[in-house]
Amino acid sequence: MSLLSVKDLAVRYGDLIGVGAVTLAVEAGQIVALLGANGAGKTTTLNAIAGLVPPAGGQILWQGKPIQGLPAHQIVSRGIALSPEGWRLFTGQSVEANLRLGATRLADRKQLPHRLDHVFTLFPRLAERRRQQAGTMSGGERQMLALGRALMSAPKLLLLDEPSLGLAPAVVEQVFATLLRLKAEGLTLLLAEQSAELALEVADRAYVLQTGATVLSGTGAELAGNAEVRRAYLGG
Ligand SMILES: Nc1ncnc2c1ncn2[C@@H]1O[C@H](COP(=O)(O)OP(=O)(O)O)[C@@H](O)[C@H]1O
Ligand SMILES: [Mg+2]
């Protein structure tokens, strides 16, 4: 049984189709990449899994049980956390306050200090800046804070929407190194990325979305070697 399995997911925004037929599976311990051009449906897919938009059709199975249509807080409680596109931080609040908000659904409150320690160990920069306002941080630091906030709920699966967007190449390298470290600690990741190159380097498996449907899938290496993928996403 896959940790997460999405079958024929459809999401509508009024009369508009967000996604029409997304199918994917995520096995425990993997990094899975969701690739596709702007507007392909990556964010919609992640938001539907996280319970932020209601599916109009299809199935989302978590550890074999349907979760589609559950409210977001129940999905967080089951072990799925989202680090959203554009980070959605409370910019007027401190780094630590933002992290604590990520733990709102942590069932065992005694775990909170341990989760904070874990995030501060992963990102020493956040520890140094714990009292600083989130809005005064650099792009890379904000991405780390968004990741750290998602990790505060002690997820089994981390959904990451465009972690490299707007970041300098050196910072992107750091972010991806962190993702590999999280994988080594046993976390499972589903990562939406417009820039396919790095995503395919770290991904065990990848899916390509086109206008709201899954059109290709394979191992990271298979897709990196696929002529169509190279032409569309890798500039080759
Ligand atoms: N809030 C919204 N209202 C209406 N249409 C939307 C909304 N969000 C996304 N869409 C549409 O849904 C489709 C998928 O978008 P999105 O999931 O954001 O793609 P991606 O993340 O791959 O860029 C696009 O056609 C987009 O215009
Ligand atoms: Mg998006």
**Extents of the domains making up the chain:** 4-233
Tell me the fold of 4-233: Rossmann fold (3.40.50)
Distance 119 CA to ligand 2 centre (A): 25
**pLDDT value at position 230?**
83
The rounded average pLDDT for each run of 10 residues, N- to C-terminus, in the chain (236 residues) is 97 96 98 95 98 97 96 95 91 95 83 94 94 93 94 96 90 92 97 90 95 94 87 70
**pLDDT value at position 90?**
93
Phi, psi of 95 (to 5 degrees): -55, -50
**pLDDT value at position 144?**
93
**pLDDT value at position 236?**
54
**Which amino acid residue places its CA nearest to atom 9 of ligand 1?**
18
**Which amino acid residue places its CA nearest to atom 26 of ligand 1?**
39
**pLDDT value at position 107?**
74
**pLDDT value at position 30?**
97
Relative to the CA of 17, which ligand 1 atom is closest? 12
Distance 168 CA to ligand 2 centre (A): 19
Relative to the CA of 45, which ligand 1 atom is closest? 17
User: Alpha-carbon distance 223 to 6, whole Å?
Assistant: 20
**pLDDT value at position 195?**
81
> 3-class secondary structure for the chain?
CCCEEEEEEEEEECCEEEEEEEEEEECCCCEEEEECCCCCCHHHHHHHHCCCCCCCEEEEEECCEECCCCCHHHHHHCCEEEECCCCCCCCCCEHHHHHHHCCCCCCCHHHHHHHHHHHHHHCHHHHHCCCCEHHHCCHHHHHHHHHHHHHCCCCCEEEEECCCCCCCHHHHHHHHHHHHHHHHCCCEEEEEECCHHHHHHHCCEEEEEECCEEEEEEEHHHHHCCHHHHHHHCCC
Residues written for the chain? 236
**pLDDT value at position 235?**
63
**pLDDT value at position 109?**
82
Q: Give the strand order in the sheet containing 188-193.
A: 65-66, 57-62, 4-13, 16-26, 213-219, 205-210, 31-35, 188-193, 157-161, 80-83
**pLDDT value at position 134?**
95
Distance 44 CA to ligand 2 centre (A): 7
